[in-house]
């Protein structure tokens, strides 16, 4: 079986590492799976991309398109063309896609136009906000996919409501596989908590990169003002996304970071160490919300809605938008729930996905 994996953004590198590791394990047992990796270049900063391939032992991309830093439409158009050329050359059995980025949608369009089967991992997630580019990407990708690998029953239900009921697999969440695997590695390799002089359980970890927050001066200013208030009570750590950094400078808001501890984008193992040891995580990232839940750390999400509604229903996640007073109040009223359950699978999602792909490609069973 030959698959082409399309990735372009930081979380996708982590998810792809899980499947690549499972492929190597299966091949060592006699399976014959060839994986071709296309990196679109959507995340093009070295700390957001290249370091991940080294740290997570992901095979280096077979193709690098170098498409980053462009508008949504421009980038998506260039990616479709670049991916199509590679798919014609490679003629895979499946194109495997992750999540909801422009790279995801581009891979889905290119493959479906060529009649190549599409497997979408993290299918069925919905925020029900079509103003989010990610929501449009995930909806369109699901509707052209041949197999939808959904992380939860709720995701399956979302697909069913849209008429997608065939070849929907509730396989658990592949990011859960990654979090469990790299958590142990992080304990061994990461020294960031000690190196940054942090006390375990006594700092707040913040990430902010969503377009709806960074592209609005009013919203970004409100978020940064809330962090400035929180620094009076606790240490606030902010690994700064390149887009967010650019907008902070553009809007003249650098002064609001005077008491915030700024870090460059951190490698995966360091990020896990920060997440696991934080007292609270404040984020607008879908992936970080989920990781907070997996590591049993209370989360405050700076969005009006989330595709990971289970984390909110369970009490581990609070939605606050970008409003300063709501962010501050949520922090001061934060309580760690007494109950936690494994919502996202048992860490075997990658194997479940490959088993299904092998069956569907009529490959020799192992």
- As annotated, the active-site residues are 209
C-beta separation of 151 from 352 below 8 A: no
In sequence order, the β-bridge partners of residue 203 are: 235
Kindly write down the DSSP assignment for every residue of 190-229, as one continuous string: --HHHHTTPPTTSEEEEE---HHHHT-HHHHHHHHHHHHH
**What is the residue whose two structure tokens read 């889905």?**
108
Cα–Cα dist 94/112, whole Å: 10
* Cα angle 317-323-328, degrees, rounded to a multiple of 5: 65
Query: 272 is written with which tokens?
Result: 């896990």
Contacts of 217 (CB under 8 A, 6+ apart): 247, 251, 253
- C-alpha 83/C-alpha 276 separation (Å) is 37
Distance CA 245, CA 256 (A): 12
Q: How far apart are CA 191 and CA 198, in angstroms?
A: 10
């Amino acid at each position: 079986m030959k698959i082409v994996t399309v990735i372009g953004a930081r979380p996708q590198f982590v998810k792809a590492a899980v499947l690549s590791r499972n492929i190597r394990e299966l091949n060592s047992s006699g399976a014959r799976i060839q994986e071709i990796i296309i990196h679109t270049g959507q995340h093009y900063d070295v700390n957001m991309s290249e370091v991940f391939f080294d740290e997570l032992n992901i095979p280096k991309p077979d193709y690098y398109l170098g498409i980053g830093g462009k508008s949504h439409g421009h980038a998506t158009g260039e990616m479709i063309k670049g991916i199509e050329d590679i798919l014609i050359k490679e003629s895979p059995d499946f194109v495997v896609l992750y999540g909801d980025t422009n790279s995801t949608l581009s891979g889905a369009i290119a493959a479906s136009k060529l009649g190549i089967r599409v497997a979408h991992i993290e299918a069925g997630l919905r925020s029900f906000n079509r103003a989010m580019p990610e929501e449009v990407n995930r909806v369109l990708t699901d509707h052209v996919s041949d197999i939808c690998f959904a992380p939860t029953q709720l995701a399956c239900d979302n697909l069913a409501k849209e008429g997608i009921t065939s070849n929907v697999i509730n396989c658990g969440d592949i990011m859960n596989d990654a979090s469990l695997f790299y958590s142990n590695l992080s304990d061994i390799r990461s020294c960031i908590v000690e190196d940054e002089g942090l006390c375990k359980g006594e700092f707040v970890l913040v990430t902010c990169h969503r377009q709806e927050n960074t592209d609005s001066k009013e919203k970004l200013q409100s978020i940064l003002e809330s962090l400035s208030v929180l620094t009076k009570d606790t240490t606030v750590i902010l690994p700064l996304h390149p887009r967010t950094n650019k907008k902070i400078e553009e809007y003249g808001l650098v002064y609001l970071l005077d008491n915030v501890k700024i870090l460059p984008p951190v490698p995966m193992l360091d990020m896990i160490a920060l997440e696991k040891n934080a007292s609270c995580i404040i984020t607008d990232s879908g992936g970080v919300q989920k990781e907070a839940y997996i590591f049993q750390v209370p989360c405050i999400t700076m969005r009006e809605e989330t595709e990971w509604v289970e984390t909110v229903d369970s009490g581990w996640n609070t939605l606050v938008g970008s409003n300063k007073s709501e962010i501050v109040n949520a922090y001061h009223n934060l309580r760690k729930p007494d109950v936690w359950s494994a919502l996202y699978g048992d860490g075997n999602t990658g194997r479940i996905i490959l088993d299904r792909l092998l069956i569907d490609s009529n490959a020799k069973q192992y």
